[in-house]
Amino acid sequence: MIQRTGQTKIMHRVVEGNGTLYLGGIVADDTAASMEHQTRQICAKIDAVLASAGSDKSKLLSAQLFITDMKAKEAMNKAWTEWLSPDQLPARATIGVADLGSPEILIEVVVTALR
């Protein structure tokens, strides 16, 4: 059975199938913030979305981080590694992109987790 929650005009925030949670792309609310602070905002949003779905960051399986400036990767990694326990890091890819829909959006994160 597939369950979908958090519908927007173009997607659902979470789609669950067989106990696996697929979170749609998450961006920061304060897009005037630096890469590090946008990443921290996104991590907090992931925590909230996972909690609402009955999960938490310890159950993350994978993450794709799309960033517009690979020179800011170190700042992103700082926030990311402070948020996650070293023994619970998910599989991850960081992908450099030219545009995330708005010049102020520096990072968008997609994650998969177990419920």
Kindly write down the DSSP assignment for every residue of 4-36, as one continuous string. Answer: EEEE-SS-EEEEEETTEEEEEEE--S-TTS-HH
pLDDT for 62: 99
Tokens, residue 27: 């961006």
Separation CA 28–CA 70 (nearest Å)? 18
Q: Each residue of 24-54: pLDDT tens digit?
A: 999 999 999 999 999 999 999 999 999 999 9
Concatenating the DSSP letter of every residue in 65-86 gives EEES-GGGHHHHHHHHHHHS-G
CATH of 27-110, one of 1.10.3470.10, 2.60.40.10, 3.40.30.10, 3.30.1330.40: 3.30.1330.40
Tokens, residue 16: 């669950």
Q: Each residue of 92-110: pLDDT tens digit?
A: 999 999 999 999 999 999 9
- At 91, the pLDDT band (50, 70, 90 cuts) reads very high
pLDDT for 110: 99
Please compute Rg for the chain using Cα positions. Answer: 14
- At 113, the pLDDT band (50, 70, 90 cuts) reads very high
